[in-house]
Amino acid sequence: AQSVAQPEDQVNVAEGNPLTVKCTYSVSGNPYLFWYVQYPNRGLQFLLKYITGDNLVKGSYGFEAEFNKSQTSFHLKKPSALVSDSALYFCAVRDRGSARQLTFGSGTQLTVLP
Amino acid sequence: DTEVTQTPKHLVMGMTNKKSLKCEQHMGHRAMYWYKQKAKKPPELMFVYSYEKLSINESVPSRFSPECPNSSLLNLHLHALQPEDSALYLCASTQSTSEGTDTQYFGPGTRLTVL
């Protein structure tokens, strides 16, 4: 079985401060991990993914994520938040050894305060 | 180009109506997906087409009927829907379903309201 947890429903951060959106996963094998962002009344936009190799993955719009196998985490980070980063963020996982489809986390609403 | 298009953007229908949602991609992807998303919730997988054949149906009620006329086009036919079917319907595509590394690219969605 595969699952994803996003422990925070809501994250608030001041503009210019670093932001972190947390994600932990559970798979029986090795994971493929993804982050998506969703703006109001829009589809999901792909930000970045971890497949293998370097644990620090860089993605779109200045976002990055760090894969930590021992902590089964894949937290999304950005050094300096923008008001325009305010959106709903989803982490997703797929078990490398499984034919299963993507499993999404429950989502984290990020609000960047001016 | 990583664009998936969906029409219409908004749809309001009565419970006795028949309507269709359309999704199109020109990335040469051979897998296409329908998801249903309620407000502030993650997308829920409904159907997966692989090489134009239905490969996954997540126990979706028969009032939703998918169709994949060709590798670029995916339709969702709607009939006798219920108010609880009101949601954002998202289409997505990947290069294939066999490679877990493939990124799913999503369309902007159709906002469906059932009266």
Whole-Å CA distances, A107 to A5, A38, A89, A91: 9, 10, 5, 7
Please name the member of B40, B104, B108 whose beta carbon is closest to the beta carbon of A102.
B104
Is residue B17 classed as helix, strand or coil in its secondary structure?
coil
Cβ count near A59 (within 10 Å): 18
Q: What is the pLDDT of residues A39-59, one digit of tens each?
A: 988 899 999 999 988 999 999
Name the amino acid, one letter, at A105.
G
pLDDT < 70 regions, chain A: 97-100
Q: Residue B47: CA atoms inside 13 Å, Cβ hemisphere, count?
A: 22
- Residue B43 to residue A41, Cβ atoms within 8 A: no
Shortest distance between the Cα of B90 and any Cα of chain A, in A, equals: 7
Q: What is the pLDDT of residues B45-96, one digit of tens each?
A: 999 999 999 998 999 999 999 999 999 999 999 999 999 999 999 999 998 8
Q: How far apart are CA B79 and CA B17, in angstroms?
A: 6
Q: Does B42 touch chain A (CB under 8 A)?
A: yes
Q: Are A104 and A3 in contact (CB under 8 A)?
A: no
Confidence at residue B8, expressed as pLDDT on a 0 to 100 scale:
97
A109 contacts in chain B (CB < 8 Å) = 40
Q: Does B59 touch chain A (CB under 8 A)?
A: no
Cis omega before residue B8 (within 30°)? yes
